[in-house]
Structure 1
Amino acid sequence: MVNRSDVNYFGAGPAPLPTVVLEKASQVLLNYREKGIGLCEISHRSPEANEILAEAKQALSTLLEIPDDYDILFLQSGGSGEFSATVYNLVAIWVEKKRVKIAAEVGDDQEEVLKRLRKVVDEELKLDYLVTGSWSLKASQEAARLIGAQHVNVATDARKANGGKFGVIPPEDQWSLTPRTSGGGAALAYFCDNETVDGVEFPAFPKSLEGDDAPLVCADMSSNFISRKVDVRKYAVIFGGAQKNIGNTGIAIVIIRKSLLPPHSTPASPDLLRQLNLSVGPIVLDYPTIAKNNSLYNTLPIFDVWVAGQVMNGLVNTYGTKRIGGQQEISDEKASLIYDTLDKYSDIYRVVPDKTVRSRMNICFRVHGGDADKEKAFLAGAEKQGLLGLKGHRSVGGIRASNYNAVSLEGVRKLVAYLEDFTKS
């Protein structure tokens, strides 16, 4: 039998979890706090469930230093569900702001308000997307499916700057963001902070999206959540699936400005959205509803939240006042060890993304120029060494070493040693 300690798993997700968390999970699944029932069996509306939620929120707030004017939501949507949720919620807010402005100009003439609002929606509603990899591409396609391609502005498509393939982030002066005017601009600007499939990560927050008049920024951080410092105030919405760095598959986490929630912001009514031929989102993706009900509008998988809380509290206890900066130091060190080795043997290995945008989380490379037999040999040899999960995504092939938080420094050193040994074979 292969023991857990015999392998190091570099899969892109679901990703490895800290062994200590899984050991504790095996206990609470059977008997939570000596209640005689397991954690998966307790009511999601019980005091214990509310305590688990509060502890997970506090751990994330501590790690990322989330300001008090932000809320944290837990949903069952996964990251892909949030592609839809951000569109539904932020478009409804944009529409309502336009309606209020028009109503102030024309008074109580509802037919005139609707007529003008239709014109504004047809001519001005835009959502900006920075397409830098497979996931941001899917996000833009979902937006076009929901509200129409005419309302989706792909401000940059990295493939056009890289021979039809992802692997770069074009310079910001080449982006075509929706112009900002006194009357507004795009309803949102979306980017994927780390592209899991393509190994591309934004090195820093885009300067083009900064400023008081900037659009509402939605960032997908599914695969680099709690791996580096984040200035949360720059974002309207941060979201991500938990199954990379935070927990197991089953929940998504949303960090949202409270100014986007009632009573500060009111979304357009479903009836108005229908009159404008805009989509009405499902209630389980409605941020105001989820926030009002403390993420418990429907039955939340509390076990998944518990796992996430345990992982995040482990980091809080490990790094103390360094907070997420402590984990960032380790993540950077592990990534540097792998990239330095790949660059050292550039005649054998080729890193896919440009050096300026290499992901610290998902390290994508080819062996012998993508020779199929040699890449199979590489993967087979790695498996014999207990180095698992290294096969690249089916859409791009090659090799991918995912350097998530639960991947140990020792495990990375074993991978580096194998990279060295393989060059000799």
Structure 2
Amino acid sequence: MDRVINFNAGPSGIPLDVLKKAQEEFLSYHGLGYSIIEASHRTPIFENILFNARDKIKKLYGFSDDYDVLFLQGGASLQFVQIPMNLSTGKKAEYINTGVWTTKAIKEAQIQGINYEVIASSEDTNFDRIPTSYKTDDEADYLYICSNNTIYGTQYKEFPKTKAPLVVDSSSDLFSRKVSLDNIGIFYGGIQKNGGPAGVTMVVIRKDLAERVSDKVPNILRYKTQMKADSMSNTPNTFGIYMLDLMLDWIIEKGGLDKIASLNGEKAKLLYGCIDELDGFYKGHAQRNSRSIMNVSYNIVANKELEPKFVKEAMENGMIGLKGHRHLGGIRASIYNSVSYENVEVLVDFMREFARKNG
């Protein structure tokens, strides 16, 4: 079977072993004579999948029973709205702006009319770094960050220290590493990078925070509504949760988040090493101390007109998804969990040869 190397930023590649498992079970799940996409969410069959996925997430990250894991819909975009709706009490909400997705979240906070402040931003340098100079308010309703920036290729190495609940959009580095759980209030992300197909948003929430919500918030948008219903107040994305459960099994089989993080670090080291080695032809966007191990954004500074040629020839050589985002342009290689070290070696070899021929 001919398979391309998938560097798409999301939806992204899914390991072949996981796809084969889903294919094997697609027509008859566990020999029951029907597909999991035909199963009611109100049956023990599906509930077992959902509860297993929830328990695996808590164990992988180390979340205590003070937290609940929800599987929602609407993507991170709905969370931009749902978070201020549920967590704002009239005190100040703090945001650190590191790119497109935090900009969108800030806009939604503004629309909601809550009291908020952008306490730090890297917009002045086109979001090429994670801000390090700011002061947080321990009495704030929450501090909001995006842990990894898919477009600009920056990533927090450590989360900010604050006594206020920390809200983390982890959509593009979900399941890629262990994180500090200190003062985590909400840890969430769309799963379509490292957790399966698009359509499921994982929200881990500290249970006490769900009680803040005003009676004026619609029931379906209250976290405590979904907590009470085990994520099934409305019909969930059953197939997406099933695929997430398979992906979690794959991560566990690979050695868990610590092992996954080590592998991701080696891939990133290889790719950034090539960019730095060929400095003058390629140039990474992110400052070195803010570089993402998930999304590597770079340009051909020797001649930007070569970038479409690079993307075209890479596709001809079995590599897809390397065109940069429209906000930044250039080239972007998303090296999520399903991308192997050997896959990155293929890209690096191509980059060196492309530079040799066109430099």
Give the shorter-chain TM-score range.
over 0.9
**Does 1:223 pair with 2:179?**
no
Mapping for residues 16-415 of structure 1, pairs under 5 Å: 16-91=13-88, 94=89, 121=90, 125-147=91-113, 151-160=115-124, 162=125, 165-172=126-133, 175-177=134-136, 179-180=137-138, 185-207=139-161, 209=162, 214-261=163-210, 265-270=211-216, 280=217, 282-319=218-255, 323-369=256-302, 371-415=303-347
How many angstroms does 1:315 deviate by?
1.3
Which amino acid in 1 is paired with 2:283?
R
Q: Would you say the 8 A contact 1:190–1:219 is kept in 2?
A: yes
Any unmatched runs of 5+ in structure 2?
none
- Work out which of the two has the higher radius of gyration on C-alpha atoms and give 1 or 2: 1
Which amino acid in 1 is paired with 2:7?
F
How many angstroms does 1:4 deviate by?
4.2
Q: Would you say the 8 A contact 1:364–1:400 is kept in 2?
A: yes
Of all paired residues, the percent bearing the same amino acid is: 34
Deviations 1:145-188 (A, max 9, x none): 1225xx2211112113x2xx11112322xx254x44xxxx3211
Which amino acid in 1 is paired with 2:340?
S
Q: Does the residue aligned with 1:14 lie in a helix, a strand or coil?
A: coil
How many angstroms does 1:419 deviate by?
1.1
Q: Does the residue aligned with 1:33 lie in a helix, a strand or coil?
A: helix
Match of 1:102 in 2: none
Q: Does the residue aligned with 1:236 lie in a helix, a strand or coil?
A: strand
Matches of 1:75 and 1:34 in 2, distance apart?
28
Matches of 1:341 and 1:30 in 2, distance apart?
45
Matches of 1:46 and 1:380 in 2, distance apart?
48
CA RMSD in angstroms comes to 1.5
Q: Does the residue aligned with 2:266 lie in a helix, a strand or coil?
A: helix
How many angstroms does 1:133 deviate by?
1.1
Q: Does the residue aligned with 1:232 lie in a helix, a strand or coil?
A: coil
Q: Would you say the 8 A contact 1:83–1:139 is kept in 2?
A: yes
Match of 1:111 in 2: none
Matches of 2:301 and 2:12 in 1, distance apart?
27
Q: Would you say the 8 A contact 2:164–2:183 is kept in 1?
A: no
Matches of 2:270 and 2:34 in 1, distance apart?
45
Matches of 1:195 and 1:146 in 2, distance apart?
24
Aligned length: 357
Q: Does the residue aligned with 1:326 lie in a helix, a strand or coil?
A: helix
Q: Does the residue aligned with 1:311 lie in a helix, a strand or coil?
A: helix
Q: Give the direction of change, closer, same or farther, for the CA distance of 1:350–1:363 in structure 2 (3 Å limit).
A: same
How many angstroms does 1:249 deviate by?
0.4
More helix as a share of residues:
1
Matches of 1:259 and 1:186 in 2, distance apart?
16
Q: Would you say the 8 A contact 1:40–1:301 is kept in 2?
A: no
TM-score scaled to structure 2, two decimals? 0.96
Q: Would you say the 8 A contact 1:128–1:155 is kept in 2?
A: yes
Q: Does the residue aligned with 2:177 lie in a helix, a strand or coil?
A: coil
Match of 1:277 in 2: none
TM-score scaled to structure 1, two decimals? 0.81
Q: Would you say the 8 A contact 1:77–1:285 is kept in 2?
A: no
Which amino acid in 1 is paired with 2:116?
V
Matches of 1:326 and 1:144 in 2, distance apart?
40
